[in-house]
């Protein structure tokens, strides 16, 4: 029943038979019914699908931000495994840690905190994962890494600015820097260029490609075939399931 | 949690919203502080006015009076817990005033207290209530040249406590609201009207109806009195009705003074007069008793009752005492005595307590809902924080800190604001009682014109929002200016209705403290509850929240 391609080594992150149904009062909206995929370490995977096909939903479930259906006692809604461990079984605390340490999210609408400056936004995950006692000793190290990243992304002159003073492309770069702050195992990108013009979007993709070249594992969802081409491998989400080959 | 402090700080540092939150808390705290202070002041004033008017415990035997009250006073003097006691006769009478219409004297019905001023001053606040003093040289310079106090004869004002001194002409002290020749200033003080008719040192005639010890009414009797002074007890009912004369004068007019006692039905002497069979005791209708400081009036009342029983027993066995004191007299604490006045006030206090609870609940609801809106606006931020791994408790902590800071600042500002208003409440009331000064109309009108100009500028620049805000401001300011120009003053605190002649108020620190703590608690709750709800909703939905 699995449509996932055969993988030899233990995948870094995999989804198996994931089901997700939204309930709007009495109406059930099934979005995912048995979606499976696997990402290898160091891979750049693109998941394509038309609008409303459930790409974002799948990505959120992969990142532990949303949960698959719990049908019976035995997790009929499928399973998401990170390094072989089912994240559904993690405690709330462990799930917070998983999102903080292992996952970096990049969203279509950037989702920066408007009250924080560029650097503060970029160090946020590092701050969140920090215990106050160790904070003083690690403070400069965390800041330096964030500033390094921001400079690499061409934002060295924008560190003190507020997100609303930046262009869309600049904002998305800050969001990527934030996603990378804790050196996550996987970057989950949801239409990272969806809100940008073609040229700016291309620059963002170049930047992702550069990080990928440095060893970053990326799962990116998009409805734009041209963008999907940049990935190592492309899967298709159709009728709530993942296909290995494109349509046509 | 480092990020929680950082975010709490940043949410506090943004301009408008924390200001609104602080303002909401501060206004609510101020409101509660003001309402409670006036209420507390009212009850305080009532309490202290009871004491300053009549001491702690009042012994009365109306009309007929208590014979040999001097002996009772001696017994009271030896009773532990009794600080001082003062005898008086309370009755009603008519005063013919030296002024009137069409050449006819005006006659005022009054309550008459025939008092022993020196002991009365020990039991009540009479000495402070006596209003007019002979001006000092410094004060003379300040007075209006037509002020009657400048007349040298008024040095006698200071002798008001000597109204029963037989060497001085029989004197009378009038309640300050009885004659119309005193004008009340805005600060609650009085000025003599520069007029011949200002009361002190005028003569009046007092008519009283004596009643014999058997309870029979005799011919009304008149006496002439010189107004020695006026008194201001600050209780309107008293100031507008009561006059004081000396006890000896009262006893004389009312036939309550001691003298030979005749037997009307017994044998006659050679001249045909009834035989003297003893001494008739002098009488007083009322004994005011003040207890030692800190002694609750009910306990004093108990001690006074016991003293009266001893007095009764002693006179019962005394063959000299031909007229026995009444077995039953009214012994009441001032609270019981003022029941008629206090009952409505206590009802009012109950009502106030209900209103206060409502105000408290409404204030809390207001703070909660404003904070709810503010935190709700941060829902997307909360989703973002959850996405980068922040825990629910961490998010709660952000808003707990935020609520704490807003609550503490708001409570302090509110207390200050409330205190300021309470401190100046009579001045504020008086200002509202007068027509608005011209400058305030001009200022409001000028501001309205400026706002109108700003509206035009905004419209010209095509800024819809600013145009809207400024036009609203224009309407509001113009309405204020119009209102001020039409305002002719309204007196809300009518002393004849509210018992006291000034708005009493006192900031009760305990209640103010409780209010502030309440404000902080509700601020924290108001911030934490919506934050907890937002942290509980699934982060995806929070992220989708626009
Ligand atoms: N909270 C929700 N309640 C009900 N239905 C929802 C909810 N969230 C998403 N859906 C529905 O689930 C479906 C999949 O949504 P999703 O956002 O995953 O699609 P998507 O592939 O990311 O689309 P797009 O390309 O437009 O971003 C949509 O039909 C959407 O209406
Ligand atoms: Mg989507």
A108 CB within 6 A, ligand 1: no
Domain locations in chain B as residue ranges: 1-51+339-425+501-546, 88-277, 435-488
- CA–centroid distance, A56 to ligand 1, in Å, is 7
Q: What is the pLDDT of residue B159?
A: 64
**Residue B466 in this model has a pLDDT that exceeds 60:** yes
| Cβ neighbourhood burial of B478 (10 Å; 0-12, 13-18, 19+) | middle
Residues with CB in 5 Å of ion ligand 2: A 56
Identify the segments of chain A with pLDDT beneath 70: 1-9, 71-75, 244-248
Q: Please report the atom of ligand 1 found closest to the CA of residue A223.
A: 25
- Ligand 1 centroid to residue A54 C-alpha, Å: 6
Cα–Cα distance for residue pair A11/B470, rounded to 1 Å:
63
Distance between CA atoms of B211 and B327, rounded to whole angstroms? 19
Cα–ligand 1 centroid distance for A242 (angstroms)? 16
Instruction: Check pLDDT > 70 for residue B546.
Output: no
Residues in Cβ contact with A32 at an 8 Å cutoff, skipping those fewer than 6 apart: A18, A19, A20, A54, A57, A58, A61, A68, A240, A241
What was the pLDDT predicted at A164?
93
Residue A179: Cβ-neighbour burial (10 angstroms; 0-12, 13-18, 19+): buried
Within 8 A of A93 by CB-CB distance, chain B residues are 391
pLDDT band at B165 (very low <50, low <70, confident <90, very high): low
Residue B152 has pLDDT above 80, yes or no: no
Q: What share of chain B is helix, strand, coil (3-state, %, to 5)?
A: 55, 15, 30
On the question of pLDDT at B480 being above 90, the answer is no
Distance (Å, rounded) from C-alpha B380 to C-alpha B373?
Answer: 13
Percent of chain B with pLDDT over 70: 91
Tell me how far the alpha carbon of residue B382 lies from the centroid of ligand 2, in angstroms.
Answer: 19
Nearest CA in chain A to B11: A115
What's the gap in Å between the CA of B458 and the closest CA on chain A? 24
**Residue located via tokens 């770069």:** A173
* Segment 485-544 of chain B within 8 Å of chain A by CB: 538-540, 543
Q: Is A172 close to ligand 1, i.e. is its CB under 6 Å away?
A: no
B167: pLDDT strictly greater than 60: no
Q: Decide if pLDDT at B446 tops 80.
A: yes
The DSSP result for B446-507, as a single string, is: HHHHHHHHHHHHHHHHT-HHHHHHHHHHHHHHHHHHHHHHH--------HHHHSBSS-----
Q: For residue B188, what pLDDT is reported?
A: 67
Q: Look up residue A44 and give its two tokens.
A: 């750049």
Residue nearest to atom 26 of ligand 1 (CA): A51
Residue B166 — pLDDT band, cuts 50, 70, 90? low
- Once rounded to an integer, what is the mean pLDDT over residues B213-242? 83
pLDDT for position B103? 73
Share of chain B above pLDDT 90, in %: 18
Q: Residue B405 — pLDDT band, cuts 50, 70, 90?
A: very high
Q: What is the pLDDT of residue A38?
A: 92
Cβ within 8 Å, pair B6-A116: yes
> Which residues in chain B are contacts of A63 at CB distance < 8 A?
387
What sign for the dihedral angle of Cα B66, B70, B73, B78?
negative
**Higher confidence at residue B402 or residue B182?**
B402
When mean pLDDT is compared over A158-167, B184-193, B480-489, the highest value belongs to A158-167
Tokens of B235: 């209780």
* Cβ proximity of B218 and B181 under 8 Å: no
What does the radius of gyration of chain A's CA atoms come to, in whole angstroms? 18
Atom of ligand 1 nearest to the CA of B541: 1
A220 membership: H or E segment, kind and range = strand A217-222
Across A85-89, A244-248, B137-141, B158-162, the highest mean pLDDT is recorded for A85-89
What is the CA(A76)–ligand 1 centre distance, in A? 21
Taking 90 as the threshold, does the pLDDT of residue B307 lie above it?
A: yes
What pLDDT is stored for residue B441 in this prediction? 85
Determine the atom of ligand 1 nearest the C-alpha atom of A58: 18
> Which residues are CB-contacts of B147 (< 8 A; sequence separation ≥ 6)?
B191, B192, B194
What number of CA atoms fall less than 13 Å from residue B27's CA on the CB side? Answer: 11
User: What is residue B342's predicted lDDT score, i.e. its pLDDT?
Assistant: 65
Q: How many residues does chain A have?
A: 248
B416: distance to nearest CA of chain A, Å?
31
Mean pLDDT across chain B, nearest whole number? 83
Specify the pLDDT at position B493. Answer: 64
Task: Using the predicted structure, report yes or no on whether residue B370 has a pLDDT greater than 90.
Answer: no
A115 → closest Cβ in B2, B11, B394: B11
- Token output for B297: 């009036």
pLDDT at B168 over 80: no
pLDDT of the residue at B8: 87
Name the one residue in this structure whose structure tokens are 């007349």.
Answer: B151
Query: Which pLDDT does position A103 carry in this prediction?
Result: 95
A55 lines ligand 1 (CB under 6 A): yes
CA distance A221 to chain B (A): 16
ipTM for the assembly: 0.91
Please tell me the distance from the alpha carbon of residue B392 to that of residue B399, in angstroms, as a whole number.
Answer: 11
């Amino acid at each position: 029943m699995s449509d996932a391609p055969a993988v030899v080594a233990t995948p870094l992150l995999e989804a198996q038979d994931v089901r997700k149904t939204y309930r709007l009062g009495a109406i059930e909206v099934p979005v995912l019914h048995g979606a499976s995929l696997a990402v290898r370490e160091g891979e750049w995977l693109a998941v394509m699908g038309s609008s409303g096909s459930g790409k974002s939903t799948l990505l959120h479930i992969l990142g532990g931000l949303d949960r698959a259906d719990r049908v019976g006692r035995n997790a009929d809604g499928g399973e998401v495994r990170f390094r072989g461990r089912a994240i559904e079984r993690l405690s709330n605390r462990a799930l917070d840690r998983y999102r903080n340490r292992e996952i970096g999210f990049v969203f279509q609408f950037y989702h920066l905190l408007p009250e924080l400056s560029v650097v503060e936004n970029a160090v946020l995950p590092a701050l969140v994962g920090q215990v106050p006692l160790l904070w003083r000793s690690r403070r400069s190290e965390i800041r330096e890494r964030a500033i390094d990243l921001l400079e690499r992304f061409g934002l060295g002159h924008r560190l003190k600015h507020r997100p609303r003073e930046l262009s869309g492309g600049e904002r998305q770069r800050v969001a990527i820097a934030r996603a990378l702050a804790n050196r996550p195992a996987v970057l989950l990108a949801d239409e990272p260029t969806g809100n940008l013009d073609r040229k700016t979007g291309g620059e963002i993709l170049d930047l992702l490609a550069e990080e990928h070249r440095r060893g970053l594992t990326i799962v990116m969802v998009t409805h734009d075939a041209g963008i999907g081409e940049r990935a190592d491998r492309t899967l298709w989400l159709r009728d709530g399931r993942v296909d290995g080959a494109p349509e046509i | 949690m480092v990020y929680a402090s950082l975010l709490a700080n940043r949410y506090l540092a943004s301009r408008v919203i924390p200001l609104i939150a602080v303002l909401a808390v501060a206004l609510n705290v101020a409101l509660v502080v003001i309402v409670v202070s006036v209420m507390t002041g009212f009850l305080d004033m009532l309490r202290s006015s009871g004491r300053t008017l009549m001491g702690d415990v009042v012994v009365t035997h109306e009309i007929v009076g208590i014979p040999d009250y001097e002996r009772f006073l001696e017994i009271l003097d030896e009773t532990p817990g009794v600080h001082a006691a003062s005898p008086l006769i309370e009755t009603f009478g008519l005063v013919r005033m030296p002024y009137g219409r069409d050449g006819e004297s005006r006659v005022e019905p009054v309550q008459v207290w025939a008092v022993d001023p020196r002991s009365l001053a020990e039991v009540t606040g009479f000495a402070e209530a006596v209003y007019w003093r002979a001006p000092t040289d410094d004060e003379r310079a300040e007075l209006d040249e037509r002020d009657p106090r400048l007349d040298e004869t008024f040095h006698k004002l200071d002798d008001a406590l000597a109204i029963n001194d037989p060497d001085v002409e029989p004197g009378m002290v009038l309640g300050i609201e009885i004659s119309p020749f005193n004008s009340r200033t805005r600060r609650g003080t009085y000025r003599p009207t520069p007029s011949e008719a200002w009361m002190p040192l005028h003569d009046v005639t007092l008519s009283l109806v004596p009643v014999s010890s058997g309870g029979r009414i005799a011919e009304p009797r008149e006496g002439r009195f010189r107004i020695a002074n006026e008194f201001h007890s600050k209780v309107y009912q008293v100031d507008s009705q009561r006059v004081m004369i000396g006890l000896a004068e009262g006893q004389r007019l009312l036939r309550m003074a001691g003298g030979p006692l005749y037997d009307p039905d017994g044998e006659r002497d050679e001249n045909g007069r009834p035989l003297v069979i003893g001494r008739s005791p002098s009488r007083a209708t009322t004994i005011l008793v003040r207890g030692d400081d800190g002694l609750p009036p009910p306990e004093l009342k108990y001690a006074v009752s016991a003293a009266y029983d001893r007095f009764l027993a002693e006179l019962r066995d005394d063959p000299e005492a031909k007229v026995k004191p009444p077995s039953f007299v009214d012994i009441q604490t001032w609270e019981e005595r003022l029941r008629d006045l206090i009952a409505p006030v206590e009802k009012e206090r109950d009502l106030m307590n209900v209103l206060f609870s409502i105000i408290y609940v409404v204030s809390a609801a207001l703070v909660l809902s404003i904070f709810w809106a503010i935190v709700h606006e941060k829902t997307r931020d909360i989703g973002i924080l959850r996405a980068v791994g922040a825990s629910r408790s961490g998010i709660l902590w952000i808003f707990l800190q935020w609520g704490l800071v807003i609550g503490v600042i708001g409570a302090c500002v509110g207390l200050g604001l409330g205190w300021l208003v309470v401190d100046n409440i009579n001045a504020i009331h008086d200002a509202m009682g007068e027509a608005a000064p011209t400058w305030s109309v001009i200022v409001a009108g000028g501001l309205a014109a400026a706002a109108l100009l700003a509206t035009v500028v905004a419209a010209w620049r095509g800024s819809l929002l600013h145009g809207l805000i400024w036009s609203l401001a224009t309407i509001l300011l113009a309405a204020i200016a119009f209102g001020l120009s039409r305002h002719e003053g309204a007196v809300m605190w009518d002393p004849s209705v509210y018992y006291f002649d000034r708005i009493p108020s006192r900031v009760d620190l305990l209640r103010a403290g409780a209010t502030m703590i309440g404000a902080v608690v509700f601020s924290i709750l108001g911030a934490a509850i919506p934050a907890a709800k937002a942290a509980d909703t699934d982060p995806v939905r929070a992220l989708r929240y626009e």
